[in-house]
Structure formats: structure tokens, C-alpha cells
Amino acid sequence: MVQQALYRALVSTKWLAEAVRANKIGPELRVLDASWYEPGGRNAQKEFQERHIPGASFFDIEECKDKSSPYELMLPSEKHFAEYVGHLGISNQTHIVVYDGDHLGSFYAPRAWWMFRVFGHRTVSVLNGGFKNWVKEGHPVTSEFTRPEPAVFKASLNRSLLKTYEEILENTESKRFQMVDSRAEGRFKGTEPETGKEGLEPGHIPGCLNMPFFNFMTKEGFEKSPEEIQSIFEEKKVDLSKPLIATCRKGVTACHIALAAYLCGKPDVAVYDGSWSEWFRRAPPELRISEWNRKKG
């Protein structure tokens, strides 16, 4: 691991506020609001229209996905991703800062961060503390829309950061990779219902360890220090010098695991894009570990 060569995964609210004040938002620095909420709850697009960081564009994860997939938020093709982000004024030379408005401080932003990285873009950062702390600290917000000049973005899929169902299936036998699931313990064990689409029971992939993503964050919504994160991995006996796969329900909070490991100098955590949503529907019953049916009985 070459920690000194890693691009900064986090930028502070103070750093971004100074960039906004200095009118640096443009072709070389783009800000994206990647908020998303479960249907029936908050409306991410409406909230963005009402207030957002000046110069920010809305990164619609519902639009930037594989719409032909039966699973929830699978990666789009290279072509689709390149066209979508190019339309937001992002080129291969742009530094991108992503944030979201979740009450935790960060929820979907690490997914957008990982998406750029998996498509070969190195210069992308998460706003540490998110929109919640941006507002709390009194930084400016606006309802004005930014219409950036379209740019050319060339996407190149980095297969090493992405795992498929077939690869996870193989790993249940070979155990070449450590596997970590970022969901809450009850959903992981199968003692609490799974969120989201009907018919999806809780549980986990054999061999997975459970590391709920919110444990990497402070109660104020900031990422914990690399030292604190390292100790969380150590407590779970996850060896950051060895291959690691992150999973969750639909490939979103798994990206928090990838971000946390990156902050400890490990940039090569792979995410199982289909995660439990796909595994539950495709894997044989004996490869779905859950207390759910026992609980129901």
C-alpha cells in the first residue's frame, strides 16, 4: 500500500467554503449533491432545488444506474456514466467533491465517490460532515441553478474495485477475500426486517463479518480519525493488508467500508455491487445465513 500516493478522500467544509468564496467552482472543481432517500420519505431533488451548496449540481443516482437491471442500483455502463457526468461539466481533469443531505452527515456520497473511482477517476473527495454540518456551521446555501458547460469524460472500468455475484459465489468456497457487511446487526443476523423492496428477507452471505457503517462516523456526522477506524477493523479481526470485499443491501453503505479502509491507506477494497439484494434472489438457500425464518416460526 502506497499511502502517500493516495488522493485525499475527504475535504473539510472550511476548505470547500473557501473555494466557493474564491469562485473556484468550475471546470476544475465541481460539487455534486448525491442525496437519495427511500420512496415516501424526503424528496432529494426538491430539497436540492430549495437549497444547496453554491455551484453544486444534482447527481441523480436513479438516473446514473443500469436501468435494465432487476436489482436496485447497479452500476451503469461506461458509456452511460461518461455521458451523464460529462453533462454535469465534469472532465477527466476535474476535482469532484460529493456530499449528501442525510441526517447522519453522509450516506450516499461515498457511493458516488466509489462510482467515480470504479470508472477510473482518481480526483474525487467526500465533503466531511456533509450538508448537515455545512448548514450547521453557517456556510452559504442557494436555490440558484448552475448550468455547467458540458465536458468530455472518458470512463474506464476498474474491475478490481467491483465484484459480481459469480465472484462472491466463488469466494464462499475459496475464501480468498475477507468479506464485510456494512448493515445494522439486526438486518445482518436476520433478527430485524430488511428495508426496501418487498420480499427481501434479512440475512447475510456466508463468511461475512458485520461492521455497521455508522460506526466509522462520529455522532456529529464526521468521519472518525484513521487511527480510530484502524482500531475498529482490528477489533473485528479484519486484516487491511489482505484482500477485502464490502457488501450491504444494494451497494451503497458498502462504499463507507471502502472509504474507511481508504482513509487507513487501503485503496483497493472491492464492492459487491448487487449486494444482499441480488444474493438473496440468486443464491441457493443454504448460502443465505439468517435467523429470520426461525424468528417467524
In sequence order, the 6+-apart residues with CB closer than 8 A to the CB of 288 are 201, 203, 205, 279, 280
Give 146's DSSP letter. Answer: P
Q: How far apart are CA 199 and CA 185, in angstroms?
A: 19
Task: Enumerate residue ranges in the chain where pLDDT < 70.
Answer: 1-5, 294-297
Residue 101 — φ and ψ, nearest 5°?
-100, 15
pLDDT for the residue 18: 98
Domains and CATH numbers, the chain: 3-157 (3.40.250.10), 160-296 (3.40.250.10)
Q: How far apart are CA 100 and CA 266, in angstroms?
A: 24
Query: Nearest-CA neighbor of 214 among 73, 61, 112, 106?
Result: 106
Give 193's DSSP letter. Answer: P
What is the Cβ-side half-sphere exposure of residue 257, based on CA atoms within 13 angstroms?
30
Taking the CB of residue 66, how many other CB atoms lie within 10 A of it? 14
Which amino acid is located at 150 in the chain? P
What are the catalytic residues?
A: 248
Phi and psi based region of residue 127 (left: phi greater than 0; alpha: psi -120 to 50; beta: remaining): beta
Which amino acid is located at 279 in the chain? W
Give 258's DSSP letter. Answer: H
